[in-house]
Structure 1
Amino acid sequence: MKHYFNPMSRAITTDWMLKELDVQHERINIDFTASENNTAEFRRINPMGKLPVLIDGDAVVTEVSAICAYLADKFPEKQMAPAVGVVERAVYYRYLFFAGNTIEPAFSLAACGFEHPEPFSAGWGDLPRVLAAIEEMTPETGWALGEHFSAADVVFGGLLDFAVTFKWMEPSSKVAAYVERIRQRPAYQATHSAFATA
């Protein structure tokens, strides 16, 4: 497996996932200052010119949630995802896709000082609803799926950590406690040194 990476990109989350799994892979560093993500070679791999990218044989996977889901399923013995067909799998999917489909676009707009003119037509609604959903979905104790840490925490918790670090949101005490639990994980600490000082 090859993981295309830059420490100041969303690839930090997939790097963390790989560290949680403790699986062998080749890290390929992409230098943004040299615009390596805009070369024709890289654009053939990912036309978006963005990170992260995971290549596993003939499979090319982009997007944080997709990569984390792929890795969790590739290594089922690591128990980073509920089994297919169980109720918890539906909850797991909600956490994976809520992060990129709802939280990030809402926060990205808000960080630029924008509001969608017709929030009922936007997939993420509006910021108050997003914040209310985050509060409801954040676990009081343990992890997103209960007592067992999973890829849902890497994706959902990782994005909340990002949002708190870069002041996209003022966390409630429950969200702050969850983010702090995330930050205590050895694999998080091993992969987030540049991010933590941002």
Structure 2
Amino acid sequence: MLTLYHAPRSRSTRIVALIEDLGAQDKVTIDPVSVPRQDGSGSRDARNPHPEGKVPLLVHGDAVIWESTAIALYLTELFPDAGLGRPIGAPDRGVLLSWLAWYGDVLEPVIVMEFAEIRHPVVQSTFRGMAEVTDRLSHALKDRPYLLGDDYSVADAICSSAFQFAAGFTPDVPHIQDWVARCGDRPALKNAIAFDTRLIETAGAH
């Protein structure tokens, strides 16, 4: 059995949605935990085995997998029939892996720096900026509905999640905005958000 340690309205929400998109709800136990929040609320949960008390964290037997992109890739390869990943040897596997790496190596750092209003030449040259993010996404999506073509993949799930939960940073480009809306309209993501709401309401009632 697999266990996902999850905190509502956090980076693990996209993994809860992915689990449903993979049809793996009966294979993964979701264990809600608390985490420290930027507003000072929350706290580290002793039940969470993540070494830094963060989420998401996936435990599969003796294997412990952390970081969203690693967990997303692990799950898509564990449940390949959903078609959200690409098998070794597939022509577009390299592109999918590149988008997943780009999310963690470029997109999230850029958005965090924009939010924090950090400006420094070394940071800019290392991670790039919103102009480069916009150009990259605009080029990829200008003639296709999803990053790999006609079909939604785990690359869309992870990369679009940055703008699902930080909508103010969505580039002002119609086909990028349409892609974000298209990914956000998936029932699995809506159900994950509703699940989070129930968790928060239940916690507030205690």
TM-score, structure 2 length as denominator?
0.83
Deviation at 1:100, TM superposition (A): 1.4
Alignment of 1:17 onto 2:26: no
Q: Which residue of 1 aligns with 2:44?
A: 36
Please give the per-residue CA displacement for 1:21-63, whole angstroms capped at 9, x wherever unaligned: 12121111112355134x3x53xx2212210001111111111
Structure 1 match to 2:174: 173
Residues 21 and 188 in structure 2, CA contact (< 8 A), matched pair in contact too: yes
- Select 1:73's aligned residue among 65, 74, 77: 77
- Look up the SS of the partner of 2:121 in the other structure: coil
**Whole-angstrom distance in 1 between the partners of 2:184 and 2:59:** 27
1:132 to 120, 135, 139: 135
Q: Distance in 2 between the 1:163 and 1:3 partners?
A: 23
Structure 2 residue identity aligned to 1:107: I
| 1:101 CA displacement | 1.0
CA distance in 2, matches of 1:83, 1:34: 39
Offset at 1:192? 2.1
- Separation in structure 1 between the aligned mates of residue 42 and residue 161 of structure 2, nearest angstrom: 27
Mean Cα deviation higher: 84-93 or 28-37: 28-37
State the distance in 2 between where 1:117 and 1:169 align. 23
What percentage of residue pairs aligned between the two structures are identical?
24
Contact 1:99/1:156 (<8 A) preserved: yes
> Aligned partners of 2:153, 2:129: CA distance in 1, in Å?
28
Distance 1:75 1:160 in 2: 26
2:202 maps to what in 1?
none
1:95–1:159 Cα change, 3 Å: same
Aligned to 2:200: none
- Alignment match, 2:184: 183
Pick closer, same or farther for the CA change 1:69–1:139 going to 2, 3 Å: farther
Q: Give yes or no for the alignment of 1:52 onto 2:56.
A: yes
**2:11, 2:122 → 1: CA distance?**
28
Contact 1:139–1:178 (CA<8 Å) still a contact in 2?
no
Runs of at least 4 residues of structure 1 off by over 6 A? none
Query: Matched residue of 2:147: which SS?
Result: coil
Q: For the structure 1 residues 157 and 11, does the alpha-carbon distance in structure 2 shift closer, same or farther, using more than 3 Å as the test?
A: same
Structure 1 CA distance for aligned equivalents of residues 94 and 50 of structure 2: 29
**C-alpha deviation, 1:119, in angstroms:** 4.1
Provide the secondary structure at the position in 1 that maps to 2:89.
coil
The gaps in structure 2 that reach 5 residues or longer are: 36-40, 198-206
Structure 1, unpaired ranges of 5+ = none
Measured in 1, the distance between the counterparts of 2:94 and 2:173 equals 26
The letter of the residue matching 2:44 is E
User: Root-mean-square deviation (CA), in Å?
Assistant: 2.0
Q: Deviations over 1:125-172 (max 9, x none)?
A: 2332222222223354432211222111111122232232xx124431
